[in-house]
Structure 1
Amino acid sequence: MHGEKDILFGLSSFRLHRIPYQVLMLCPPIPPLWDNVRDPLLPKHPVIHEILGSPLHVLVTNRKDRRTAKNVRTHLVESRLPAGAIVDSVLGVQTCSPLFTLLTLARDLNTIELAMAMYEFCGNFSVFKPSEAIEGLLKTPEAAELNRQPGAWKRVRSSAATTSGKTSSLWMRPPLVSLDELHSALDEYPHFHGKTRFREAANLVTGVTSSPFEAQLSMLLALPESMGGKGMPLFTNNAKIALTKEARKMYPHNFIRADLLFEGNESRPDIDVECQGSIIHENEKQAISDSDRSTALASMNIEVLWITYEKVSNASTFQSIAGLIAKRIDYPLPESTGEALRRENELRRNLMIDWSTLGGRPM
C-alpha cells in the first residue's frame, strides 16, 4: 500500500467505487501518485486511462502538500476525519469510503446529481460501462473464475441478450451505504464543506432501488413541485410483499419485491408500480411470466402497473403515466404549465441521462 498522500478523492473515488469486484481484481496496481505526479506516463496507466480519467483527484490534509499538476489535482481537507473515512483498495492506493465519497461530491455535483449518486451507492446496483479493452479482460478464464467468487458483482444482460448475447452496463451488488448511514453522515462530518447540499440531496432519496430507472422514476414522482417533480405521497421502494397461500398457487414464491409500492386504504388497493427498462433484472421476473405475478398480486388486492423506460423518457407520455398513477392513488395532480413546466424540463435535463456518465465522465 502506498503512502498516506495517495488517497483518491471526490470524482476519482466515486469512479473507483463503481468498478465491479472482478474488474478491480484484473487491473494492475496504480503506481505511487506522489512520486509520479509529473510523469507523462501516469495518465497512460490502464486503470487511469480506461476508467478513472485524468487528472486524478487526491486528498491532502496539510496546506504544504497542495500542488498544481496536470496529472493530479489536490483537495485540502483540514478537519479531522473520523475512523473509517479512508479505506484501502486492491489497486495499491487508498480512497475515501463510499459514505465519505458522497460527502466530497457535494463540492462537484448539483443537488439532483448528488441525489442520483446517493441512489446508486445506497442501492443494489452500480453502473459501469467497460471499455473495449476491459470487455476483453472480462472474457478471459481469469475473469470467469472471479465471476464465481463470493465478492463478484452480477452483470445484468440486456433485453436483447437472448438473441445477441449483449450485456449491459448495469451490475448488481449489495448497497455500499445504508440509508441510516446516509442520514447520520453529518453527525460524523459536522464541519464538512457542502453539508447543506448533502442534506438536501439525502432528503430526496426515497429508498433502496435496483436500477437507475427505478431511481429516476422515484425522483420524477416524489420530488416536490418546486424542484420539477410531481410531489406524490410517499411510497416504498423495493417493498417486500409476502404472498398468501392462494397467491403462491399462481406464482410459486414466498414473497416478491415491488419496485415502488403505494399503500392503499379502505377505498383503493395497494398499487405496485413496476419499472421495465431496456435492461432486465435476472430475478423472479424472468422465471415466471409477468401476468402470473400480476394475477397473484391481484388475488391479494394489489394492482400492478407496468411502466416502461421508453414512456417515462418521453416528457409527453410521462405526463400521461403520472396522471394514471395519480388517479389510482387519488392524488390531485396539478396541471403542468408555465413555470411548473420549466422546472420539470430542468429536472429531466439533469435526471434523464445516460447514468454511466454521472460524475462527468463516461464509464
Structure 2
Amino acid sequence: MDEIVCANTAFRYWRCPPQVRDLYPRLPSPEDGWRALAQSPFVTDVLKTPIITTTVPGGVNYHSGLRTTIHCDDASGVDSALETTMSFRVTNPLATLFTMARFVSPTDLVLAMYEFCGWFSVFEPTAAAEAELDKGKDAAENASTESLFELDESQDEAQWKRVYARVKVKEQVKAKGAYGKKKTKEVTKLKGTSLWMRKPLIELHELHEYARKMKSRKWGTKFFNAAQIVTGIAASPLEVAGILLLSLPRSRGGSGFRNVFVNDFTPLTASAKSIAGQKVCYEDIVIVNPTIMKAGILEIQGEVIHGSGAVLDHDVKRMTALQSMGYDVFLVTHDMLNDAELLDAIVRSLCSRLELRYRCKTKIQRTRETELRANVLCNWLEIGR
C-alpha cells in the first residue's frame, strides 16, 4: 500500500500490541488491489474498513466502503510517517491524533490523547489471536498492580504487558475414592483483559508543543482545546474518567478541583517503607490544597485489574503505608464514579479534609455531569470506530 494510513485507522494500529501484530502476515502488494487489501487478516481484525489515508493536495479523493482519503500536508510529511513491518506506512502517534480530530468528538479526542500519553492501551484480540497468546502466557508476571509499571528500561517501546483479571470458573475434576465419577469445583483463573500496559507513545510536553504548533491549521483549534485538558499521565481508562470528573470545571460537568496530580510519587518514611515494602508509592490521583499544604489521595480500583472488585494485598499495604503518614486515602471504584450521589459524597469529604469550600451543583451543572460521566465511563474499545 503506497498511501499513508492515518486518523482512526492509524489509531487502531498504534493500539495493537506488537506481540499481536507479529501474529499476522504482511499486507498484500498494491498490485493486488484494494479489495484484496480489505480482505487481508490484519485489516479485517485490526485496521477495519474504510481505511483512512492521507493524500497530497491535488491528489485523488476516495470515499467508499473500502477507503477514505483526506488532505493533510503535515501528516504526509517525512517526519510524520513511519514504515511498519507489515509493508505500509502509518502516521506517527502525534499526527495520528491530529488527523483524528475531524472524525471523533472532542471528548473522544481527549480520551485518545490520554491513552497515547499514558501507560496503557486498550485492545481486544480476536479469538484466534487470543488462542496464540495463551500459548505463551505467563500469568505470574501480573501478580501486582505495581509490577505492571516495571517495564525493562533496556527494552524499547515494543515491550507491552497484558493486564489479567481474576475470574472464578467451574471445572469438573475426578472425585477422590470414586472411580470414574467427577464433581464440579470452582477455581480462580486469570483471564486476559483488553487493558495492556506499555510506555507512553507520546510525552506530555510533546503533545502540548505540537498542539500549539498546529493551532492555526484546519481542525487545529479543536485539537489544541482537547490537548489543554490532558494534564497528567494515567495508567488506565478508569483513572482518566476519575481525573476528568474531578478536575474539569463545574460548568463542564467536573468537580472543579484545581491542583490535581496524576500518578505522583510520595517518598515514604522508615515505618511506612516497612509496611509497603518499597521506598516510594505512586498514587493514582492526588488533590492538593497548597494553602495548608495538605493532600487527599484517591486510589482507583478497577475490576479490570483486580477481578471481581478484589483489592490485592500489595495495594492494601501501599494504602496502609500512606495512611500511617497522615494522608487521607479514598478507595474509589467504577461504581462510585458512576453514581452521582456517591461521587458527590467523595467530593464533599475531600473538601472537608482539605479545608476547601464545597458548593452544591446547580441543575444545569448536574446535567452536564451526567453527560460527562456517560462520555468518560464509556467502552474505550469504541473510540475511533
Q: Flag whether TM exceeds 0.5 (same fold).
A: yes
TM-superposition CA deviations, 1:300-334 (whole Å, max 9, x none): 22221111112212233222223222332233333
CA deviation after TM superposition for structure 1 residue 158, in Å: 1.3
Query: Paired residue for 1:97?
Result: 92
Paired residues for 1:83-122 under 5 Å: 83-122=78-117
Counterpart residue type for residue 334 of structure 2: Y
The match for 2:163 is: 156
Deviates more, 1:119-128 or 1:258-267: 258-267
Pairing partner for 1:23 from 20, 29, 34: 20
* Larger-gyration structure (1/2): 2
> Matched residue of 1:319: which SS?
helix
1:288 aligns with 2:301: no
What is the rounded CA distance, in whole Å, between the counterparts of 2:17 and 2:117 in structure 1? 16
Asked whether the 8 Å contact 1:127–1:170 carries over to 2, the reply is yes
In the TM superposition, what whole-angstrom CA distance separates every residue of 1:161-213 from its partner, at most 9, and x where no partner exists?
Answer: 78132121100000000110010003544553211111111111120010000
Picking from 128, 131, 148, the partner of 2:126 is 131
Instruction: Please say if residues 24 and 90 of structure 1, whose CA atoms lie closer than 8 Å, have aligned partners that are also in contact.
Output: no
> TM-score normalized by structure 1?
0.88
For the residue of structure 2 that corresponds to 1:166, the secondary structure is strand
The answer to whether the 8 Å contact 2:215/2:223 transfers is: no
1:268: Cα distance to partner?
6.7
Amino acid at match of 1:11: N
Structure 2-normalised TM-score? 0.83
Q: Which moved more, 1:207-216 or 1:87-96?
A: 87-96
In the TM superposition, what are the counterparts of 1:83-232 in structure 2 within 5 Å? Answer: 83-140=78-135, 150=155, 151-160=158-167, 163-189=188-214, 191-232=216-257
Given residue 273 of structure 1, which amino acid in structure 2 is its aligned partner?
L
Q: What is the deviation of 1:215? A: 0.5
Alignment match of 1:8 (pick from 5, 9, 12)? 5
Q: 2:313 matched to 1:306? A: no
Letter in 2 for 1:21: P
Alpha-carbon distance change, 31 to 184 in structure 1, aligned in 2, over 3 angstroms: same
Answer whether contact 1:312 1:321 (CA < 8 A) is retained: no
Question: SS at 1:156's partner residue?
Answer: strand
1:123 aligned partner, one-letter code: G
- Rounded Cα–Cα distance in structure 2 between residues aligned with 1:171 and 1:237: 19
Letter in 1 for 2:314: I
Flag structure 1 segments of 5+ consecutive residues without an equivalent.
none
In structure 1, C-alpha distance between the alignment counterparts of 2:10 and 2:32, rounded to whole Å: 19
Question: Match for residue 270 of structure 1?
Answer: 295
Is the partner of 1:164 in helix, strand or coil?
Answer: strand
- Tell me the alpha carbon deviations over residues 190-246 of structure 1, each in whole angstroms, 9 at most, x when there is no partner: 553211111111111120010000000000011112211111122110101111222
Greater alpha carbon shift after TM alignment, 182-191 vs 345-354 = 182-191
8 A Cα contact 2:283 2:298, kept in partner: yes
Q: Deviations over 1:99-142 (max 9, x none)?
A: 1111111111222111111110000000101121221221245x
1:89 Cα deviation (Å)?
Answer: 1.6
What residue in structure 1 maps to residue 46 of structure 2? 51
**Counterpart in the other structure of 2:259:** 234
Q: Which moved more, 1:210-219 or 1:299-308?
A: 299-308
- Decide whether the 8 Å contact of 1:269 with 1:301 is kept in 2: no
Find the counterpart in structure 1 of residue 66 from structure 2.
71
* SS of corresponding position for 2:59: helix
Q: Which residue type is aligned with residue 326 of structure 1?
A: C
Residue pair 1:230, 1:333 contacting (<8 A) in 2 also: no
Going by fraction, where is strand more abundant, 1 or 2? 2
1:82/1:189 contact within 8 Å kept: no
CA contact (8 A) 2:55 2:76 kept: no
2: CA distance between counterparts of 1:319 and 1:80? Answer: 43
Q: Is the 8 A contact 1:79 1:192 kept in 2?
A: no
Tell me the amino acid that sits aligned with residue 311 of structure 1: M
Q: Is this contact kept in 2: 1:59–1:77, CA < 8 A? A: yes
CA separation in 2, counterparts of 1:267 and 1:42?
A: 61
Number of aligned residue pairs: give it: 349
What RMSD over aligned residues (CA atoms) do the two structures have, in Å? Answer: 2.6
Structure 1 counterpart SS, 2:206: helix
